Amino acid sequence: MAKPRVILITGASSGIGKATALKLQAQGNIVYGAARRIEKMTDLAAAGVHVLKLDVTDEKTLVAAVATIKAEQQRLDVLINNAGYGSYGALEDVPLAEGEYQFKVNVFGVMRLTQLVLPIMRAQHRGRIINVSSIGGKIYQPLSAWYMGTKHAIEGMSDALRMEVAPFGIDVSIIEPGGIKTEWAGIAEKKLLEVSGETAYHDQAVKVGAMLSLFDQFASNPGVIAKLMARAVNDVKPKSRYHAGMSSGLALNGRHWLSDRQFDKMMTLAINGAAKLAKLEHHGQRAGKRHYQHN
């Protein structure tokens, strides 16, 4: 029987991270689920997951988490960098401090934790690093420059890292989720409207916000990405990239085959379509409410 893997996954308190931690634990692995909101991981602890309090922007918690795993298991086979959030708003409107924090969470936190685990994996001459990007690491939307910038950075840095660590028996894979039903879309929409809802970018903010809100209605279940994560962990020869989730294939193929200007038009059509659909739903809800009151 294969030896269970020791796995660390960040952002395990909700969504993709929680679903993945539970799936990998159920497969018989030794899983450490890490997040800032430790109170939201009681179900993970009950399932046998080792729960760690970790903030990817806090050096002390990063060092402590890696030291705990090394002391308890003497090894670390897989690191899944899943923690992150989406900061939306026009580039002109987003305060520089917010843009810097977006990179601190989505990029620098990922790379710092990777730095800390690499000596362990090099000493073992084996290991697997899985970085959660997004289809946003390949495509783009208006009012998403900071977020998309972080995901494009993850893509490029992961590719470079994959070549650097290959001689030490370490693999690097990227996960590119499409639309997934998590807290992400709601947080991104709220931030977008707070930042650009009352500025010169108001009209675009409303339309892009409508597109984000559709994620909550039509997005794929986090379990879809949990299965993909398990593949990236278990594949004998892991792929450099995996993608799944609502519209992931369509978006990535569109970006591959269309010119920049053609893709701009396709994205504009999608955003305008989402706005029209949201308006129709809103009118339908209002009409239904009036009908109910009339009766």
Residue 144: active-site member: no
Among 32, 140, 147, 201, the active-site one is 147
Residue 133: active-site member: yes
- Strand (E) positions, the chain? 6-10, 30-35, 50-53, 78-81, 127-132, 170-177, 241-244
Q: In what order do the strands lie in the sheet with 127-132?
A: 50-53, 30-35, 6-10, 78-81, 127-132, 170-177, 241-244
Residue 147: active-site member: yes
Among 138, 151, 181, 191, the active-site one is 151
What is the distance between the alpha carbons of residues 148 and 135, in angstroms, rounded to a whole number? 9
Check if the beta carbon of residue 10 is closer than 8 Å to that of residue 82.
yes
Among 18, 23, 88, 133, the active-site one is 133
What is the distance between the alpha carbons of residues 218 and 213, in angstroms, rounded to a whole number? 9
Residue 151: active-site member: yes
Enzyme catalytic residues: 13, 133, 147, 151
